[in-house]
Amino acid sequence: MSVVQYLFGGIFLAFVLILWSRRKFYLLTLKIPGPLGLPLIGMAHKLRKREDILQVIGGIEKTYSKTFLSWLGPFPFLVVSEPNLVGRILNSTDFLNKSLIYNAVAEGTGDGLFSCDTPKWNIHRKAINPTFNQKVLVNFVPIFNEEVNLFVEEVTQNVSNHSKDLNLSISLQKLSLNNAARTTMGKQMSSLTQTESDLLHCFQFVLKIMTKKLFSPWYQFKFIFQRTNYFQKYEDSKMAMRSFIRKLIKDKHEKGLDTEILEDPDKIPSNKNIFIEHAINLANSGTFSWQDVEDEANVIVFGAFETTANTVGYILMCLAMHPQYQQRLFEEVSSVIGPQRDSYISYEQIQDMVYMDMVINETMRVMAPVPLIARTTKCDVKITDDITLPKGLQVAIDIFNMQRDEDIWGEHARCFYPDHFLKDNLADKHPYAFIPFSKGMRNCIGWRYALISIKITLAKILLNFKISTSFLFEELEFQEDITLKLKKYPKLDIEIRN
C-alpha cells in the first residue's frame, strides 16, 4: 500500500473512532426531537445575530417541544424550558459544571464563580459566601442611598421640570458601577484616573464579543478570531478592565488595611465587610491565588453593576409604559417613606414595600436578566425510564421563554402584569417557573445585593420623578447578550415631582 493510502486509511479510522465515541449523542436524537441543523455548524448559522437567538429558540420550542435537542457546531445541546426538568437539573450535582461555551466568559472576564467548574467552584463559593450574607449587605444601605442621591441630582440638573426623550441607561450604568466599586472593592470612582465612560464602554464591548463567541463556535479558535476586525479592540478592552481591577486590588493590598489572616473565614467582622478585603485575606491564607483574587473581583464587579443597571432601567421603562402601575407604586413608596424626596431609605422600609416586590419580580419575569444559562453533564444521567443523557452533553435552560410561557403564566404571559405575583396567582406555579437569579446550588451569589440596591434606587427615583414614554411594550425587541439587551431603547420623558 502507498503512503497516501495509509494516510487516508488512518484518517478514515480516526473519523470512525470519533463517531463511535459520540454514538450516545447521535442515538439521543432518536429519542428527543429537535432540528439537527447543517453539517459541522448545526444551528449556529441561525444564532449568529444576537437579536435572533431568543426568538429562534422560542420558535423551535413551539415547533418541536419545550425540551429539544439540537447542535451548536460540533456540540450537542439539550434546550429545556419545562419547570419540572429545570428544577431537577439545577438541584443535581450531575449538572453542576457550566457548559463549555462559557470558556468564552472565562477568557473574557476570568475563571471566576460564573464559569469555573467543580471542585474549584465549591471552594470559591464557600469562601466568598460570607461577603454576601444579610448582615454584610445591610451595611451597604448608606452607600446605596448616597449614590442614588447623586444620580437624582444629576438627572434633576438635566431636566428643567420636563425633559423630552431622556436616555437613562448610561446614567444608571454609572450609578451601578459606582455602587459596585464602593461596596465590593472599597473605592469611589471619583478617585480613579480612568473615566467611568471608558470603563463602561470596555465592559459592554467585551460582553458583546463574549456573546458572539458563545453562539459562533468557530470564534473559539484563536487563529480565526485573531483575523476578525474586532480582535484588537476586544484585547484592549479586556486589558482596560483588568487594569482597573488590578489597581483596586493593588491599592487595597498596599494600604495593608484589615488584611491579617482570619482564623475563621466564614465569620467576617464588620470592619472586613467588603469582598476585596476578604479576598485578600483568602490569598494571604493560601485559599486563593492572586490570580483567583483578580478573576473573582472581575466577575463580582461585572455582575454587580451589569444586571442591576439593566433591571432598574427595564423597570422604569415598564412603569413609563404603564402609568397605572407607576402611580400605585409611587403611592406605596410615599406611604412607607413619606413625601420628602431626599428621605433616607432604610433596609426596614424596603421590606415593607409589597407592591414594589411584585413590580420588580414581574419585570424580571417578562424580561429575564440572564435569558439563558447552560450546564454540562458530569456523567450519564437518567431523566426518564427510556432517556439517559450522556456524559458531556451541553444543557441549556431557556429562562426567557419559560417565564413568558402562556401554558404557565396564562393570557398575560407576554405582558407586563404585576398581579402575576399576587399570592393567589402564584399558588399553582411550579417553584422553578420563575428563576431570575437561577436557582439551586449555583444560583446567583449576589441576588440579595441586587434586590436591596434595586429597591432603594427605584424608590428614590419614583419619589423624585414621574416617567412616561410614547413607546409601547409590544414594540420592545429583545436580544441575547449573556444578559438581556434591547435592540432599541425607548426614550423616557422625565418630569420632576412637585
Band (246; pLDDT cuts 50, 70, 90): confident
474 vs 386, residue with greater confidence: 474
**232-243: average pLDDT:** 90
pLDDT of 9: 62
Length of the chain in terms of residues written = 498
**Chain centre to alpha carbon of residue 466:** 28
Whether residue 401 contacts residue 53, with contact meaning beta carbons closer than 8 Å, is answered with no
Residue 248 pLDDT > 70, yes or no? yes
pLDDT in tens, 258-300: 433 334 444 444 444 588 989 999 999 999 999 999 999 988 8
Please compute Rg for the chain using Cα positions: 24
In angstroms, the CA 271 to CA 353 distance is 30
Residues 265 and 130 sit within 8 Å (Cβ to Cβ): yes
Mean pLDDT for the stretch of residues 341-359: 95
| Whole-Å CA distances, 326 to 111, 350, 356 | 40, 17, 10
In the chain, where are the structural domains located? 23-496
The three cell numbers of residue 66 are 419545550
Range among 174-178, 230-234, 364-368 rated most confident: 364-368
pLDDT tens across 298-316, in order? 888 888 778 899 999 999 9
Q: Are strands 75-80 and 394-398 parallel, antiparallel or unpaired?
A: parallel
The model's pTM: 0.91
Cell numbers describing residue 230? 474586532
C-alpha to C-alpha distance for 307 and 73, rounded to whole angstroms: 29
Between residues 361 and 244, the one the model is more confident about: 361
If you average pLDDT over residues 159-186, what whole number do you get?
Answer: 80
The one-letter amino acid at 306: E
- Residue 76 DSSP one-character state: E
Q: Looking at residue 17, what is its pLDDT?
A: 57
For 425-431, what is the mean pLDDT?
Answer: 95
pLDDT higher than 70, residue 465 = yes
Homologous superfamily (CATH) for 23-496 = Cytochrome P450 (1.10.630.10)
Q: How confident is the model at residue 186 (pLDDT cuts 50, 70, 90)?
A: confident
Q: Are the C-beta atoms of residues 338 and 346 closer than 8 Å to each other? A: no
